[in-house]
Structure 1
Amino acid sequence: MSLLQVKQVSLSFNSKKLFKGKDLSKKVLNDISFAIEEGTCLGLIGTSGAGKSTLGKVILGIQRPQQGQVLFQGYDIYNADKATQQKIRRDLQVVFQDSYSAVNPRMTAERIISEPLENYEKLTITEQRKRIIELLERVGLSEKDLKKYPHQFSGGQLQRINIARAVALKPKLIVLDESVSSLDMVTQSLILELLNELKDDFGLSYLFITHDIKAAFLISDTLGVLEKGELIELYDSKDQFFSSKHPIVKRLRDSILAEHPRFRTLTTKANWVNTNRLSKQL
């Protein structure tokens, strides 16, 4: 049984009717189906407005779909009993794009990371503090950061705190919603490296939602492409992404620029070569 199963999920948002009897509802997700196996990462690639973040909300139990099912560890997250829902909330965590808006600016790093521990663990003050220090160190920070507030951290450091909070309960699956897109390229690489290490150390699974193909390639085991609310392609390996003849996928491939401006070109063929080389290195 797959850890996460998304089955024929569809979602529409209703708009105000300009004319009587005219349906202006907008379909955001259309018949989405895929699965994530335990210990793996699915990279979900799509441009802005493709429906990626909305799909993330559906999986997290924030936005109920009109049709379809989301099964986590075999349980329908929208029809589970209270005890099962509590277990799902413990085992299903999220890291959002904006590290600053994801935390309370009046809370210290210690308090931010302690939230899930206080909700689900019965630890003494000493045990909890020790666990938080271990988590800080595991994400590349230290005990001296315990009493700092969000404004005292860089964006990358604060995202490490969000990651520490997300892994505090050793969940089964973490939804990473554009979690590195607001960071500079060097920080992105360091955070992706950290996420890969944590995935191996804790046996985590990820849904990595992104518009950045290179980031997806660095962390993902399988790939999916979302376009206008439809999952147009799903790949069991990264190589399949480069052999796809789908016009939207080809356009995504052609949009990748070389790392150094010197090697950038407007010629799509050159971009394809640079990207293909990257895939061979990964």
Structure 2
Amino acid sequence: MQGVKPLSLLQVKQVSLSFNSKKFFIGKDLSKKVLNDISFTIEEGTCLGLIGTSGAGKSTLGRVILGIQRPQQGQVLFQGYDIYNSDKATQHNIRRDLQVVFQDSYSAVNPRMTAERIISEPLENYGKLTKGELRRTVCELLERVGLSEKDLKKYPHQFSGGQLQRINIARAIALKPKLVVLDESVSSLDMVTQSLILELLSELKDDFGLSYLFITHDIKAAFSISDKIGVLEKGELIERYDSKDQFFSSKHPIVKRLRDCILAEHPRFRTLTTGKLG
């Protein structure tokens, strides 16, 4: 007898979401559809790169998956549980196993909290560690993301953007979650720092067995970390690919336009029309 196929870690099923606008005329619906019938899965230990231009609905979809923005239609199942229709105990466990790293590292933290307090917060909320155990765990997490014990008592304004994003990553992995949503988490960093953070994220994925949803407008960044690629355009998941080759051979006009925005590695080869995705 064949074994039962395990459930996907994350299942997004026919998710649709509209934002209502003010109605200036009786009977006229001015609602704007932001997400339209989106479905995909993420398996354990994998990364799905979700690429799209500014306004495509990427961050809105991220909020839906995180349980922040409830969709009007569809389901989001995490480890088989509907994140919007589960009991409180299940939702508590989901919040533990589903973490996020946002684009703006500074607005994601309390400016009055030290690095130690920022990273300790989820551990205190979900664990029962002694003060000594808590400090040791935080030090280990700091070292794992390339910082050190001497950074424990520093405040956010004392770190660079890249260093503070490392602290946000340390906080996100503190509870050893199953899935981390990375919402434009490297887009505000310079190219060198971006490369170092992407390398760190790849290492953490392997070391901790993490899964990622990597939301970005940057194709190169997505390809550096993702196992599969999805393309979002005007709230619709228009294409999904299992490899880079599939992406680069696609005839879809939106995908071709996205490809044309990629700079070649060396200036002498930059013959394509270039532009900024958002």
**Common fold by TM > 0.5:** yes
Which residue of structure 2 aligns with residue 257 of structure 1?
263
How far residue 19 of structure 1 moved from its aligned partner, in angstroms, is 1.1
In structure 2, relative to structure 1, the CA distance for the partners of 1:67 and 1:267 (3 Å cut) is closer
Matches of 1:280 and 1:147 in 2, distance apart? Answer: 38
How far residue 257 of structure 1 moved from its aligned partner, in angstroms, is 1.2
In structure 2, relative to structure 1, the CA distance for the partners of 1:241 and 1:266 (3 Å cut) is closer
How far residue 258 of structure 1 moved from its aligned partner, in angstroms, is 2.1
Matches of 2:241 and 2:59 in 1, distance apart? Answer: 20
For structure 1, the residue ranges without an aligned partner over 5 or more in a row are: 269-278
How far residue 172 of structure 1 moved from its aligned partner, in angstroms, is 0.0
How far residue 117 of structure 1 moved from its aligned partner, in angstroms, is 0.2
In structure 2, relative to structure 1, the CA distance for the partners of 1:139 and 1:246 (3 Å cut) is same
Matches of 2:58 and 2:51 in 1, distance apart? Answer: 8
Does the 8 Å contact 2:34/2:57 carry over to 1?
A: yes
How far residue 259 of structure 1 moved from its aligned partner, in angstroms, is 3.6
Is 1:233 equivalent to 2:233 in the alignment?
Answer: no
Deviation per residue, 1:191-233 (Å, 9 max, x gap): 0000000000000000000000000000000000000000000
Matches of 1:281 and 1:98 in 2, distance apart? Answer: 18
Does the 8 Å contact 2:258/2:277 carry over to 1?
A: no
Which residue of structure 2 aligns with residue 271 of structure 1?
none
Q: Quote the RMSD (CA, aligned, Å).
A: 2.8
Q: How many pairs are equivalent?
A: 272
Matches of 1:210 and 1:280 in 2, distance apart? Answer: 12
Q: Tell which deviates more after alignment, 255-264 or 163-172.
A: 255-264
Matches of 2:30 and 2:180 in 1, distance apart? Answer: 34
For structure 2, the residue ranges without an aligned partner over 5 or more in a row are: 1-6
Does the 8 Å contact 2:53/2:277 carry over to 1?
A: no
Secondary structure at the residue paired with 1:169?
A: coil
Which residue of structure 1 aligns with residue 148 of structure 2?
142
How far residue 107 of structure 1 moved from its aligned partner, in angstroms, is 0.3
Deviation per residue, 1:61-100 (Å, 9 max, x gap): 0000000000000000000000000000000000000000
Matches of 1:183 and 1:261 in 2, distance apart? Answer: 21
How far residue 239 of structure 1 moved from its aligned partner, in angstroms, is 1.5
How far residue 166 of structure 1 moved from its aligned partner, in angstroms, is 0.1
How far residue 261 of structure 1 moved from its aligned partner, in angstroms, is 3.8
Alignment of 1:64-83 (within 5 A): 64-83=70-89
Q: Tell which deviates more after alignment, 37-46 or 256-265.
A: 256-265
Q: If each structure's helix is expressed as a fraction of its own residues, which one has the higher value?
A: 1
Alignment of 1:131-170 (within 5 A): 131-170=137-176
How far residue 48 of structure 1 moved from its aligned partner, in angstroms, is 0.1
How far residue 267 of structure 1 moved from its aligned partner, in angstroms, is 4.7
Matches of 1:84 and 1:128 in 2, distance apart? Answer: 25
In structure 2, relative to structure 1, the CA distance for the partners of 1:26 and 1:81 (3 Å cut) is same
How far residue 264 of structure 1 moved from its aligned partner, in angstroms, is 2.4
Alignment of 1:44-63 (within 5 A): 44-63=50-69
Which residue of structure 2 aligns with residue 92 of structure 1?
98
How far residue 266 of structure 1 moved from its aligned partner, in angstroms, is 4.4
Does the 8 Å contact 2:218/2:277 carry over to 1?
A: no
Which residue of structure 1 aligns with residue 277 of structure 2?
281
In structure 2, relative to structure 1, the CA distance for the partners of 1:280 and 1:153 (3 Å cut) is closer
Matches of 1:145 and 1:232 in 2, distance apart? Answer: 44
Deviation per residue, 1:19-46 (Å, 9 max, x gap): 1110000000000000000000000000
Matches of 2:244 and 2:9 in 1, distance apart? Answer: 21
Does the 8 Å contact 2:54/2:277 carry over to 1?
A: no
In structure 2, relative to structure 1, the CA distance for the partners of 1:83 and 1:267 (3 Å cut) is closer
Tell me the TM-score normalized by structure 2: 0.95
Secondary structure at the residue paired with 2:30?
A: coil
In structure 2, relative to structure 1, the CA distance for the partners of 1:151 and 1:260 (3 Å cut) is farther
How far residue 238 of structure 1 moved from its aligned partner, in angstroms, is 2.0
In structure 2, relative to structure 1, the CA distance for the partners of 1:218 and 1:20 (3 Å cut) is same
How far residue 18 of structure 1 moved from its aligned partner, in angstroms, is 1.6
In structure 2, relative to structure 1, the CA distance for the partners of 1:281 and 1:100 (3 Å cut) is closer
